[in-house]
Amino acid sequence: MRVLVVEDDRMIAKGLHTALKQDGYAVDGVSDGASAAAALRSSRFDLVLLDLGLPERDGLEVLRELRSRGDATPVIIVTARDDVQSRIQGLDAGADDYIVKPFDLDEVAARMRSVLRRAAGRGDPYIRHRGITLDPVSHAVERDGVPVVLSAHEFAVLEALMQRPGAVLSRAQLEDRLYGWSEGIESNAVEVYVHGLRRKLGNDAIRTLRGVGYFVPKD
């Protein structure tokens, strides 16, 4: 899961970055409205945490532009503007949720999961498919009721593939979800994680479409 953090306060941005990485997200950060708009135009994110009071361009403006392009990327506003009018404005501008500073990290994490779940069209907080159950909160995975221990990166690859069974994700798309801009990517990392997953969950759990990418069989 790749998250864009738009926050002009360096301390808060840094803290969010650390927390989200601990939760297994790939995190990118920008500190002003213009850079946020540019990043959203050029890259694909699973979720955006958006501050409103930004230099250069206001967060609401960035959000409206994103929505006017028809881009449905989930956006959670994280701001110090706590008045009802601002909340209404933010949600009506296309935000999926609205969090007021100072926030609680666990609550931010829960709201992010809730928004991601809805974006994936799931009501169930667990992702279940063909005997595999995946808990996005605890990162616990079970195969036919038996717990399986996965590394953070293995979990991220499995989660990405299980979001939409049958859909093929390329190596580049998977790398996008695993790493932020600043992180170095090893060339065969994705193959290593897929190999690990097949070893732990069974060879049939993830299939390869040669020259295209990986997918979880639909049934």
Task: Give residues in contact with other proteins (CB under 8 A).
Answer: 8-12, 14-16, 18-19, 22, 31-32, 55-56, 80-81, 101-106
CB nearer to other proteins: pick between 54 and 93: 54
CB of 14 to other proteins, least distance (A): 7
Segments in the chain forming alpha helices (H) = 10-22, 33-42, 59-68, 84-92, 105-119, 152-163, 171-178, 189-201
Q: Cβ of residue 89: shortest distance to other proteins, in angstroms?
A: 16
Q: Which is closer to other proteins, CB of 53 or CB of 131?
A: 53
CB of 132 to other proteins, least distance (A): 25
CB 68 within 8 A of CB 41: no
d(CA 72, CA 115): 12
**Cβ closest to other proteins, residue 103 vs residue 215:** 103
Three-state secondary-structure class, residue 52: coil
Q: To the nearest whole angstrom, how small is the minimum distance from the Cβ of residue 12 to other proteins?
A: 5
Q: How far is the CB of 80 from other proteins (least distance, A)?
A: 4
Nearer to other proteins, 11 or 146 (CB): 11
Return the number of the residue (72 or 80) whose C-beta is nearest other proteins. Answer: 80
As a whole number of Å, the end-to-end CA separation of the chain is: 24
- Element of type H or E holding 2: strand 2-6
DSSP 3-state assignment of 4? strand
Beta pairing partners, 177:
none
